[in-house]
């Protein structure tokens, strides 16, 4: 009797940057891949803020996972959600009630928002992690302008036109810059009762500087660029409370209808599924070859993993780490690598508005327009494989030249955004 030929089965949970990179590397190889995600699309998260501020449309920054692998017969895509892992009988439990057997398992389920124990803030200060989040924030911002146009009470109008971003990391800096440009340049000329002076964009950071992972001079350059756009940057001002229409900080009770949370993330629940040791952000502590300690056939990668870097400190939760780790574990499974994972750091970048950015690459530190051009190129590069690459470039050019936002659509009922309750201290400035 002929022996039954068994191709190894690789189950990948999560089709974000890490899972997708692994699946792409395994496509067309002598393995059967099952790629599971609870969404049917892959999202380029670094560009979510552009959807939230109406510069790009969702389809510009997301693509159906199934379509990415339509020419890879050994990759099967499943729309389902993992809810547990049984390492000792090599099964992943799915929300649909089924379970998936694996020879190799790659967990790449990313991260979610963390409100540092204040989950009750999430209703009034949504975070930005998915297309749904970005659309909800876009709706909130655009509705605030519409309501302000008809609001006759000055204090209420100012609350509608006050936008608070909490968290001074790259997402917070990018979001604050983009809202400031939207408020002061793109929309103000389309309304008759709103003037740029009415809008207030406040960036709150509990620490002593913006962009703490960047060199100090670039943090300062980012702060100057934001101030140039009219953003009020508050450093060392931790948030004490967030509620309906207000943010309470150590220094001010701010009346604001739109608040965006960009202050913290925590890893997905993978550490709970595995009963694994984790770091303070909930990331699974993995071996230097990205395996779960004691389990040779389970890898954890990307934002879900805490992997040691060359200096011994754990690697940052950024897209290049996830992508390189995805490719690395695929190579290990294919038997092409046996050593530990080594991260190649190409630098950090963050953009501020439509023509400024800060970049650190090796010894190179740049800010201003040149940095912005490099940032734009790098982010269009992220879109390889999506038909929208050209569309995004055209949209950006259009926005750049005209200050217009092509995706200023409010969908759904408008009744749910009332004027904010008056919570602020007396107005200090006149807004007409
Ligand atoms: C707003 C924002 C801006 C960012 N900007 C930058 C930047 O400028 N530069 C940079 O390098 N990094 C940036 N990042 C971080 C970067 O996006 C992440 O480090 C990267 O996406 C991590 O990749 P990942 O594969 O680990 O997880 P993700 O890309 O988050 O993918 C996780 C995937 O798993 C799926 N999933 C989760 N749980 C389950 C489950 N239980 N079952 C099935 N599927 C599941 C999710 O749907 C998702 O598709 C940003 C992140 C955000 C949110």
Q: What is the mean pLDDT of residues 185-206?
A: 83
pLDDT value, residue 432: 45
What number is the average pLDDT over the span 352-373? 85
- Are 141 and 179 in contact by the 8 Å Cβ rule? The answer is yes
User: Residue 192: its pLDDT value, please?
Assistant: 82
* Full-model pTM: 0.91
- H/E segment holding residue 61: helix 58-61
pLDDT higher than 70, residue 139: yes
Q: Is the pLDDT of residue 136 over 50?
A: yes
- pLDDT of 427 reads 43
Best mutation site among 13, 18, 25, 45 for ligand 1, i.e. most ligand atoms within 8 A of its Cβ?
45
What pLDDT, in 10s, does the model give residues 97-133? Answer: 999 999 999 999 999 999 999 999 999 999 999 999 9
Query: Is ligand 1 within 6 A of the CB of residue 317?
Result: yes
State how far the alpha carbon of 322 is from the alpha carbons of 44, 83, 327, 345, in Å.
13, 21, 9, 12
- Looking at residue 337, its pLDDT comes to 79
User: 258-261 and 162-166 as β-strands: parallel, antiparallel, unpaired?
Assistant: parallel
Helix (H) or strand (E) holding 374: helix 369-382
How far apart (Å, rounded) are the C-alpha atoms in residues 168 and 153? 32
* Residue 46 in contact with ligand 1 by CB distance below 6 A: yes
Q: Give the C-alpha separation, 243 to 256, whole Å.
A: 10
Residues facing 28 on adjacent strands: none
94 pLDDT higher than 80: yes
Phi, psi of 366 (to 5 degrees): -130, 150
Residue 37 near ligand 1, beta carbon < 6 Å: yes
pLDDT(342) > 50: yes
Range with the poorest average pLDDT among 148-152, 288-292, 405-409: 405-409
Strand ranges for 87-208 from DSSP E: 91-94, 99-101, 104-107, 111-113, 162-166, 200-205
| pLDDT, mean of residues 87-92 | 96
User: Do 303 and 282 meet the contact criterion of CB atoms below 8 Å apart?
Assistant: no
By annotation, the residues acting in catalysis are: 174
| 369 CB-near residues (< 8 Å, 6+ apart) | 355, 356
Sign of CA dihedral 34, 36, 40, 43: negative
Sequence-ordered list of residues with C-beta below 8 angstroms from that of 165, at least 6 positions apart, any chain:
172, 175, 176, 179, 201, 202, 203, 204, 259, 260, 262
Structure tokens at 363: 């010894």
Q: What distance in Å separates the CA atoms of residue 94 and residue 4, rounded to the nearest whole number? A: 28
Can you give the pLDDT at residue 44?
92
**CA dihedral for 124, 212, 111, 349, sign (positive or negative):** positive
Beta bridge partners of 182: none
pLDDT digits (tens, 9 = 90+) for 57-76: 898 889 999 999 999 999 99
Mean pLDDT of the chain: 89
Cα 354 from Cα 333, distance rounded (Å):
43
Task: Determine which of 66-75, 326-335, 400-409 has the lowest per-residue pLDDT on average.
Answer: 400-409
CA of 230 to the centre of ligand 1 (A): 30
CB 339 within 8 A of CB 365: no
Token pair for 74 = 């050994």
Per-residue pLDDT reduced to its tens digit, 274-296: 999 999 999 999 999 999 999 99
CA distances from 118 to 14, 75, 145, 240, 322 (A): 27, 40, 28, 10, 28
| Ligand 1 geometric centre to CA of 38 (Å) | 13
SS3 content of the chain, % helix, strand, coil (to 5): 35, 25, 40
Distance 159 CA to ligand 1 centre (A): 32
Cα–Cα distance between 231 and 165 in angstroms, integer? Answer: 10
Ligand 1 touching residue 331 (CB < 6 A): no
Average pLDDT over residues 169-180: 94
Q: Which residues contact 41 (CB under 8 A, 6 or more apart)?
A: 62, 63, 64, 65, 131
Distance CA 250, CA 259 (A): 17
The helix (H) or strand (E) run that includes residue 332 is helix 319-333
Best residue for ligand 1 mutational test, from 18, 47, 109 (most atoms within 8 Å of Cβ) = 109
Quick check: CB of 319 below 6 Å from ligand 1?
A: yes
- Separation between Cα atoms, residue 316 and residue 219, nearest integer Å: 18
Helices (H), 81-169: 131-150, 154-160
How many residues belong to the chain?
Answer: 432
Three-state SS at 352 = strand
Q: Pick the range with the lowest mean pLDDT from 121-130, 219-228, 417-426.
A: 417-426
421 pLDDT more than 80: no
CA 302 to ligand 1 center in whole angstroms: 8
The residue whose CA has the least distance to atom 17 of ligand 1 is 45
Task: Provide, rounded to the nearest whole percent, the portion of the chain with pLDDT above 90.
Answer: 66
DSSP string, 368-419: EHHHHHHHHHHHHHHTTT-TTHHHHHHHHHHHHHH---TT----S-STT--P
CB-count burial class (<10 Å; 0-12, 13-18, 19+) for 42 = buried
């Amino acid at each position: 009797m002929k022996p039954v030929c068994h191709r190894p089965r690789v189950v990948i949970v999560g089709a974000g940057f890490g899972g997708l990179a692994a699946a792409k590397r395994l496509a067309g190889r002598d393995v059967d891949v099952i790629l599971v995600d609870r969404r049917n699309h892959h999202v380029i998260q670094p560009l979510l803020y552009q959807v939230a501020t109406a510069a790009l449309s969702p389809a510009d920054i997301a693509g159906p996972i199934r379509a990415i692998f339509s020419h890879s017969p050994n990759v099967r895509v499943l729309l389902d959600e993992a809810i547990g892992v049984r390492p000792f009988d090599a099964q992943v439990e799915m929300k649909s009630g089924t379970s998936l057997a694996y020879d190799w398992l790659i967990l790449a389920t990313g991260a979610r928002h963390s409100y540092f124990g204040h989950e009750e803030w999430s209703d009034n200060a949504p975070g930005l992690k998915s297309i749904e989040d970005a659309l909800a924030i876009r709706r909130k911002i655009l509705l605030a302008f519409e309501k302000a146009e008809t609001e006759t009470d000055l204090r209420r109008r100012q609350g509608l036109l006050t936008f608070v971003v909490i968290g001074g990391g790259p997402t917070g800096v990018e979001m604050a810059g983009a809202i400031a440009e939207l408020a002061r340049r793109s929309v103000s000329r389309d309304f008759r009762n709103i003037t740029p002076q009415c809008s207030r964009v406040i960036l709150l950071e509990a620490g002593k500087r913006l962009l703490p992972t960047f060199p100090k001079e670039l943090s300062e350059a980012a702060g100057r660029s934001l101030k140039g756009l009219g953003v009020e940057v508050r450093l060392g001002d931790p948030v004490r409370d967030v509620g309906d229409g207000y943010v309470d900080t150590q220094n001010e009770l701010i009346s604001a209808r739109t608040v965006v949370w960009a202050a913290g993330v925590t890893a997905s629940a993978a550490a709970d599924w595995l009963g694994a040791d984790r770091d303070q952000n909930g990331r699974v502590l993995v071996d230097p070859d990205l395996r779960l300690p004691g389990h040779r056939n389970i890898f954890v990668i990307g934002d879900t993993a805490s992997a040691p870097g060359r200096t011994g400190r754990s690697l940052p939760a950024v897209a290049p780490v996830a992508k390189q780790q995805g490719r690395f574990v695929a190579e290990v499974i294919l038997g092409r690598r046996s050593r530990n994972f080594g991260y190649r750091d190409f630098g950090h970048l963050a953009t501020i508005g439509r023509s400024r950015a800060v970049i650190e690459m090796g010894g190179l530190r740049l800010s201003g327009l040149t940095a912005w051009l490099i940032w734009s190129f790098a982010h269009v590069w992220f879109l390889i494989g999506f038909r929208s690459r050209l569309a995004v470039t055209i949209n950006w050019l259009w926005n750049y030249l005209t200050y217009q936002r092509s995706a200023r659509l409010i969908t759904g009922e408008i009744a749910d955004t009332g004027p904010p309750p008056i919570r602020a201290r007396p107005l200090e400035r006149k807004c007409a």
